[in-house]
Structure 1
Amino acid sequence: MGALGISEKPKQQLQADAEFGDLLIAYLEQLGVEYIFGIPGGAIEPLYNALARSERRGGPRAVIARHETGAAFMADGYARNTGKLGVCCATTGPGATNLITGVASAYENNIPMLVITAQTALSTFGRGAFQESSCTGINTVGLFEHCTRYNTLVSHVEQFESKLATAVMTAFQSPSGPVHLSVPLDVMRAVTQTKTPAYNLSDLLERPSLIDDLAVDKLYEEIISAKNPVFLVGDEASEAIGSILSLAVEVGARLLVTPHGKGLVSPYHPLFRGVIGFAGHSSAKEVLVDKSVDLVVAIGASLGEWATDGWDTKWLLTKRMIHVESAEVNFTRSPMAKLHVRGRLSSIFERLVSRYEGDCRVKLHAIDAGVPNKTHVEDVEHERYFTIDDEEGYLSNASPIKPQRLMRELSNLFPPNTRYLADTGASFAWATHYLHPYDRRLAGKRDAHGGLFRAALEFASMGWAIGSSIGTALARPGNPVVCITGDGSVLMNGQEITVATQEKLPVVFVVLNDGGYGMVKHGQRLTGAENIGTEIPETDFAAFAKAMGVESHVINSPDDLLSLDIAVICNRQGPTLLDVRIDRDEVPPISVRTSLIAQ
């Protein structure tokens, strides 16, 4: 490799008169990116011309959203499930501003994303051009400043490659996140004499496995000397989850997850005690309240409000915590921790497992923990080692169907490789507490992006799951995808369902139809606020789906749900919508959130 990381390897040849778009696509091919999500428009037409040429030869292609926010959500879902760069684009003016909610969501959830927006031609800046969004108009570069890790205007075609390389490298740095390039129309149209990409981005993104050896040694000693350890797993632990689970089995550490980390640990793992924080389980809280617990190892957990029972400093954020992170910025949320361990999580836990297995002096709790000495158990019983709030509702045969029973049956009906996404609002609360996918994997090597449950917290955009489920289905062909959303979210972003139709994706959209903004309604009641602004007129979402050419079913009772032919639904060349008329009086498990609001 030459100076500045410029590759000396053979590179893909471009056509003799390559434009900006062709060069961009050549770089995306280096990274294995298959899709660019967005909506075409006049100012970004050159990029779409290049995408048309790329699609004809079998290269990266365009996926056309219905709203630019949906495009960003799709790129988010694709990135989460592949580990690759999510890419979305928009034309100038309102196209660019429409992206901002989706990009802000990716920023809060550390999703590596490349955002390309167009500008009117440089020569028109300041002259009142149609949809001008330069520094003399609606300054879109300025608007993206606070929701991106890197943000710049490409004012000359000669700047493009170096700025793109910087952007992509920044997107994958810690903390990762979205990056933005704003490109004027005349720069997009400029012909470059470059026939090959100057950089090999794959080489530049190769990350060394950095480890703080001293801190890891201290962590090892703390774990093996602990009498009653607990591992708290967050979503950023996904790349190391196999080693984390193996180590937990070896030392008999009970397992808790944050709401973000739900889906990384099988809910039927003998060491699993539930979700801590928002919509969590009392059994998880009981573990932390147990005074015999002498060590809590928080792994890849950002420790925000929803993951900490509202910053609980009595039982969670205490001096018995060790915080293990790749993103050092998260250490600011655990100043009380007895030890901070920084580095790549997969490398840290692979070393811990290897050292434990090779240390003949250490023979701790593997037998006493009662954990099967297997990594993939085919015959694990559906036995829960955690508690749920409402067992009666979970088993209820009532009509209208209880949301608790709905969540129970979803995980029973769909195959074990199903990916579930839960939208912001009551949908997320119900799914976090009551949806328990049957993941048989207890330990050992795991897909680094294999979480079966996803949500977008912190920024918590309604409708995120609708777009993200489409990106997930494109990233995970052959795996069923279930999007759990609410009537309010569908009325915001339901138009993206037609993208699943166009792409022939068998996504199942489960709409919790309760005629209102459920989380807000119940939150107002629980906090003593005025009851205002929560009602939605009765909406037939099954008819709404059929109007878009989508197969749909109305679900009023458990029998309606159980009568569905799930095999047919999962193999359909297109989406299915379930209009689930839930019991609107059931209160979702949101007490952690409402108590904080009341305070």
Structure 2
Amino acid sequence: MTQTGAECLAAGLKLLGVRYAFGVSGGAISFFWSALATAGIDVTHFRHESGAAFAACEASIATEMPVVVFVTSGPGLTNALTGAYAARHEAGRVILVSAHTDAAMHGRQPIQETGPRTFPQSGIFTEGPWFDYAAVVSAADQLPEVLSGLNDAARKPTGLVAHISLSLSSQRQVLPPQASAFRLDSPHAAASAQQNGVFTRASSISHAEEVYERLRDSSWLIWVGGGARGSTDAIRRLASTAGVPTMATPRGKGVIAESDETYIGVTGFAGHLSAVAYLESNRPDYILVLGSGLGDFASGYNRSYEPGVAFIHVDLDSDKHRRAYPAVETVPVVADIGPFCEELADLLDGAPEGSLAGAGVSPFDRRPITATDELIDPRTLMDAVQAVLVDHGIPVMAETGNGLAWAINRLRIDRAAGWRAPAGMVGAMGHFTAGVVGVAIATSQKVAALVGDGSMLMTSEVSTAVHRRAPAIWIVLNDSRYNMCEQGAAVLGLEQVDCSIPRTDFAGLARALGASGLAVSDVAELVPALEWAIRADGPAVVDVRIDPRVPAPTAGRNAGLLKASETAPQRVRMDTGSR
């Protein structure tokens, strides 16, 4: 049976495990857009390409399956690049398929010309910092080889972000039967039908015995990051067997239950003073690092987190070893975290438990909050989110901004699957306002996003959620300003900085788009409003009028900026000017 190039690529992506495709249509990508649905892939038409890319990133993480983003030429491609960049740092599995202009039209001013005359080739159409795999397809008979290369690239154990650029003619060309009857027989293809197309992790290279010899007569603790989310059971077994204190980066919340008696708190951005206090008074010989590069967001490079002897850093990506703390001795372990922790737990089983001195004190501040008449304290909002959403199993994702800081510091997460925070390397506003839609579509489950009013005005994709009746919930921290920027600028002594936003009725806007919307400015209405959002049939927006005067728990971040300004003024100007 013959196939067009578009049909060949769509069928191949289905074999590679793709079940969902998000994007925005355009003439130059129209044949591939149509072929996706013909191949049996669930296609959602978004309102903006960046929203589609952010949604695909989060859907791929939630399902552990690759998700396609389809965009047209010109601005279709450029609009999607921020989401693709975020997916690379989130270890998402996103395959971006864009359109480029046929060579015969180059230089003739075709609409949305995309090619070497108008676009830089390196980095966008080639492998590198943005893409694990990239290919430019000018003829349909190139597609079987491209799919084979894509399949090989999918062996990467920590995510895959790829870019396939198609000419319009390659989408329409017909392949002979022998060219389109290709097979993808790697562990990631449909030949492994029992995996339902889910990409598997690479086998581990374990050094557990060597690590055991170091730890068995030493003091140590466990520091988990977001990269350890897929190994929660093994890590919890190790922590329970060893009986040692545990702590987490902001992205690692929930890998170890934050209500566990061994837990001493969150590190890094908006982290807990309890973790710093424990380490300063109980300096361990070793810190076992699992699934984190310990960058700025995870640690702030705080020297209080340094061990007495060495970090033992376990990660399949050897580039992460020693990067954040180059002056501290590090024992690098290149291994799959889950099997490594299981083996280490076996070795420790029966050995004396580690010290719990100083652990068992909750890092979470639960002092009473004084209510105001008109505006809601963000801490009160987080307590309501805890009681209504988190404690009842509704996953929560927190957008970059003060809402993220409050969520990290105040929400107690006991399930890794119940929490998502952005990668510190990117931290794009609009990521989770759109990402929540991708997760809701791909899982058909209620999921909530804590977002600021600034992010909500960028890329909310509420209309897309209405079209798909996706059960997404937006909880908007509405204070009529970019408050992280405003509060940070005040701490840094900066003047003439306008961070204001005109008051927006997000509940009314949601209703105008066809979603459910409810505005809350009274504390007594907060819990009922969140319960209402859970019961809503389809997407719902809860517009919470919060008090902008309450300082977010970002003192450590601001102190770091001030310290950096002593030697690098230009860097501070760049940081404070960013979102």
Tell whether 2:17 aligns with 1:32. Answer: yes
User: Contact (CA 8 Å) 2:100, 2:114: kept in 1 or not?
Assistant: yes
Q: CA RMSD in A?
A: 2.4
Distance 1:21 1:342 in 2: 40
CA, structure 1 residues 50+501, in 2 after alignment: closer, same or farther (shift >3 Å)? same
Q: 1:364 aligns with which of 350, 353, 356?
A: 353
CA, structure 1 residues 137+317, in 2 after alignment: closer, same or farther (shift >3 Å)? farther
What CA deviation, in whole Å up to 9, does each residue of 1:90-124 have, x standing for no partner?
A: 00011001001111111222322211111122321
Partner secondary structure for residue 167 of structure 1: helix
What CA deviation, in whole Å up to 9, does each residue of 1:221-252 have, x standing for no partner?
A: 2233223x210000111121211111111111
Tell whether 2:278 aligns with 1:287. Answer: yes
Name the residue aligned to 1:431.
407
Tell whether 2:11 aligns with 1:22. Answer: no
Q: 2:544 aligns with which of 580, 583, 589?
A: 580
Distance 2:418 2:527 in 1: 26
C-alpha deviation, 1:298, in angstroms? 0.9
Distance 1:457 1:266 in 2: 22
Q: 1:483 aligns with which of 440, 449, 454?
A: 449
Name the residue aligned to 2:315.
325
Paired residues for 1:62-81 under 5 Å: 62-81=43-62
Tell whether 2:294 aligns with 1:303. Answer: yes
Paired residues for 1:24-173 under 5 Å: 24-54=9-39, 59-139=40-120, 142-143=123-124, 145=126, 146-173=129-156
User: Contact (CA 8 Å) 1:264, 1:451: kept in 2 or not?
Assistant: no
Distance 1:171 1:69 in 2: 23
Distance 1:314 1:251 in 2: 23
Name the residue aligned to 1:551.
516
Distance 2:291 2:123 in 1: 31
Paired residues for 1:415-564 under 5 Å: 416-437=392-413, 439=414, 450-478=417-445, 480-494=446-460, 496-564=461-529
Q: Which runs of 4+ in 1 moved over 6 A?
A: 368-371
Name the residue aligned to 2:168.
185
User: Contact (CA 8 Å) 1:260, 1:457: kept in 2 or not?
Assistant: no
User: Contact (CA 8 Å) 2:286, 2:307: kept in 1 or not?
Assistant: no
C-alpha deviation, 1:299, in angstroms? 0.6
User: Contact (CA 8 Å) 1:43, 1:92: kept in 2 or not?
Assistant: yes
Q: 1:242 aligns with which of 233, 244, 254?
A: 233
Letter of the 2:488 counterpart: G
C-alpha deviation, 1:340, in angstroms? 0.9
Distance 2:257 2:536 in 1: 28
Distance 1:576 1:144 in 2: 38
C-alpha deviation, 1:295, in angstroms? 1.9
Distance 1:81 1:162 in 2: 29
What CA deviation, in whole Å up to 9, does each residue of 1:433-492 have, x standing for no partner?
A: 11224x3x6xxxxxxx735333343211001011111121123323x2111000100111
Distance 2:159 2:143 in 1: 21
Partner secondary structure for residue 483 of structure 1: strand
C-alpha deviation, 1:531, in angstroms? 4.1
Name the residue aligned to 1:374.
none
Task: Give unmatched runs, 5+ long, in structure 2.
Answer: 190-198, 564-579
What count of residue pairs does the alignment treat as equivalent? 547
- Normalised by the length of structure 1, the TM-score is 0.86
- Normalised by the length of structure 2, the TM-score is 0.89
Partner secondary structure for residue 8 of structure 2: helix
User: Contact (CA 8 Å) 1:76, 1:86: kept in 2 or not?
Assistant: yes
User: Contact (CA 8 Å) 2:430, 2:455: kept in 1 or not?
Assistant: yes
Q: 2:386 aligns with which of 411, 414, 421?
A: 411
Partner secondary structure for residue 264 of structure 2: strand
Q: 2:204 aligns with which of 198, 206, 210?
A: 210
User: Contact (CA 8 Å) 1:23, 1:197: kept in 2 or not?
Assistant: no
User: Contact (CA 8 Å) 1:216, 1:348: kept in 2 or not?
Assistant: yes
Distance 2:67 2:217 in 1: 42
Partner secondary structure for residue 343 of structure 2: helix
User: Contact (CA 8 Å) 1:278, 1:590: kept in 2 or not?
Assistant: yes
CA, structure 1 residues 558+238, in 2 after alignment: closer, same or farther (shift >3 Å)? same
Paired residues for 1:385-396 under 5 Å: 385-388=361-364, 391-393=367-369, 396=371
Deviates more, 1:217-226 or 1:277-286: 217-226
Name the residue aligned to 1:589.
553
User: Contact (CA 8 Å) 1:263, 1:453: kept in 2 or not?
Assistant: no
Partner secondary structure for residue 459 of structure 2: helix
C-alpha deviation, 1:50, in angstroms? 0.8
Distance 2:10 2:340 in 1: 35
Name the residue aligned to 2:195.
none
Partner secondary structure for residue 301 of structure 1: coil
Name the residue aligned to 1:341.
333
Task: Give unmatched runs, 5+ long, in structure 1.
Answer: 1-15, 372-383, 442-448
Deviates more, 1:152-161 or 1:167-176: 167-176
CA, structure 1 residues 476+398, in 2 after alignment: closer, same or farther (shift >3 Å)? farther
User: Contact (CA 8 Å) 1:515, 1:539: kept in 2 or not?
Assistant: yes
What CA deviation, in whole Å up to 9, does each residue of 1:351-383 have, x standing for no partner?
A: 2223333xx5x24359x7999xxxxxxxxxxxx
Distance 2:551 2:358 in 1: 36
Distance 2:372 2:383 in 1: 12
Distance 2:85 2:61 in 1: 15
